[in-house]
Structure 1
Amino acid sequence: MFSPLVTFPALYSATLLMLAGTGLLTTYLGLRLTAEGTGDLWVGGMTAAYYLGLVCGGKFGHRLIASFGHIRSYVACAGLATVAVLLHALVSQLEVWLVLRFVTGAVMMNQYMVIESWLNEQAESRQRGKVFAGYMVAVDLGLVLGQGLLAMSPALDHRPLLLVAICFAACLIPLAMTRRVHPAKLVAAPLDLRFFWQRVPQSLGTIFAAGLMIGAFYGLAPVYASRNGLDTSQSSLFVGICILAGFCVQWPLGWLSDRMNRSWLIRGNALLLCLAAVPMWGLFPLPYWALLGNGFLTGMLLFTLYPLAVALANDHVEQPRRVALSAMLLTTYGVGACIGPLIAGALMRHFNPGMFYVLISAYSLLLIFWVRPKTVSGMPQVDEAPLHHVPMPDTASPMSAALDPRVEEVPEDLVVEAPPSIGRSDGSSETRQ
Structure 2
Amino acid sequence: MPSAFTAFSSLYFATLLMLLGSGLLGTYLGLRLAGEGVSEIWIGLLMTGYYVGLVFGASVGHRLIAKVGHIRAFVASAGLVTASVLGHALTGKVEIWLVLRVIAGMAMMCQYMVLESWLNEQAESHQRGSVFAGYMVVTFLGLVLGQVVLTLMPELAVEHLILVAMCYSLCLIPVAVTSRLHPAPLHPAPMKVRVFFERIPLALTTVLVSGLAMGAFYGMSPVFASNVGLDTSDIGVFMAVTIGAGLIAQWPVGWLSDRFDRSRMIQINGIVLTGVAMLIALVAAPGFWLLVLTAGFGLLLFTLYPLAVALANDHVEQEDRVPLAAMLLVTFGVGASIGPLLGSVVMKLLGAHWLYVFIGLCSFVLVVRVRPEIVTGEHLVQEAPLNFMPSAGNLASSPLGAALDPRVDEQMVVEQMIDESEAYAVAVSERDADQAEHRPG
- Pairwise TM-score range, normalised by the shorter structure: over 0.9
CA contact (8 A) 2:230 2:286 kept: no
Q: Kindly state the Cα deviation for residue 412 of structure 1 after the two structures are TM-superposed.
A: 3.7
1:62 equivalenced with 2:62 (yes/no)? yes
What per-residue deviation string (whole Å, max 9, x for no partner) do you get for residues 208-256 of structure 1?
0000000111111111110110111101110111000000000100000
What per-residue deviation string (whole Å, max 9, x for no partner) do you get for residues 147-196 of structure 1?
11122111112111011001111111111122222101221111111110
Structure 1: segments with no counterpart, 5+ residues: 419-433
Q: What does residue 439 of structure 2 align with? A: none
Q: What does residue 157 of structure 1 align with? A: 157
Q: Kindly state the Cα deviation for residue 125 of structure 1 after the two structures are TM-superposed.
A: 0.8
Q: What does residue 121 of structure 2 align with? A: 121
CA contact (8 A) 2:284 2:290 kept: no
Q: What does residue 402 of structure 1 align with? A: 403
Larger Rg: 2
Q: Please report the TM-score for the alignment, with normalisation by the length of structure 1.
A: 0.94
Tell me: CA distance 1:378–1:67, structure 2 relative to 1, closer, same or farther (3 Å).
same
SS in 2 for 1:391: coil
Q: What does residue 322 of structure 1 align with? A: 321
Q: Kindly state the Cα deviation for residue 202 of structure 1 after the two structures are TM-superposed.
A: 0.5
Q: Superposition pairs for residues 18-57 of structure 1, below 5 Å? A: 18-57=18-57
Tell me: CA distance 1:226–1:125, structure 2 relative to 1, closer, same or farther (3 Å).
same
Q: Superposition pairs for residues 213-232 of structure 1, below 5 Å? A: 213-232=213-232
Q: What does residue 416 of structure 2 align with? A: 414
Q: Please report the TM-score for the alignment, with normalisation by the length of structure 2.
A: 0.93
CA contact (8 A) 1:242 1:298 kept: yes
CA contact (8 A) 1:86 1:165 kept: yes
CA contact (8 A) 2:210 2:301 kept: yes
In structure 2, what is the Cα distance between the partners aligned to 1:88 and 1:133?
A: 34
Residues 115-124 or 1-10, more deviating: 1-10
CA contact (8 A) 2:189 2:322 kept: yes
Matched AA of 1:140: F
Give every structure 1 segment of 4 or more consecutive aligned residues whose post-TM-superposition deviation is greater than 4 Å.
Answer: 415-418
What per-residue deviation string (whole Å, max 9, x for no partner) do you get for residues 368-408 of structure 1?
11102111111201110000111122221111111111111
CA contact (8 A) 2:278 2:357 kept: yes
In structure 1, what is the Cα distance between the partners aligned to 2:316 and 2:130?
A: 24
Q: Kindly state the Cα deviation for residue 415 of structure 1 after the two structures are TM-superposed.
A: 5.9
SS in 1 for 2:285: coil
In structure 2, what is the Cα distance between the partners aligned to 1:53 and 1:43?
A: 16
Tell me: CA distance 1:260–1:285, structure 2 relative to 1, closer, same or farther (3 Å).
closer
In structure 2, what is the Cα distance between the partners aligned to 1:411 and 1:111?
A: 21
Q: Superposition pairs for residues 35-184 of structure 1, below 5 Å? A: 35-184=35-184
In structure 2, what is the Cα distance between the partners aligned to 1:246 and 1:118?
A: 26
Number of residues of Structure 1 aligned to a counterpart in Structure 2: 417
Matched AA of 2:387: H
Q: Superposition pairs for residues 232-247 of structure 1, below 5 Å? A: 232-247=232-247
SS in 2 for 1:382: coil
Structure 2: segments with no counterpart, 5+ residues: 421-441
Q: What does residue 271 of structure 1 align with? A: 271
Q: Which has more helix, going by share of residues?
A: 2
Q: Superposition RMSD on alpha carbons, in Å?
A: 1.2
SS in 1 for 2:397: coil
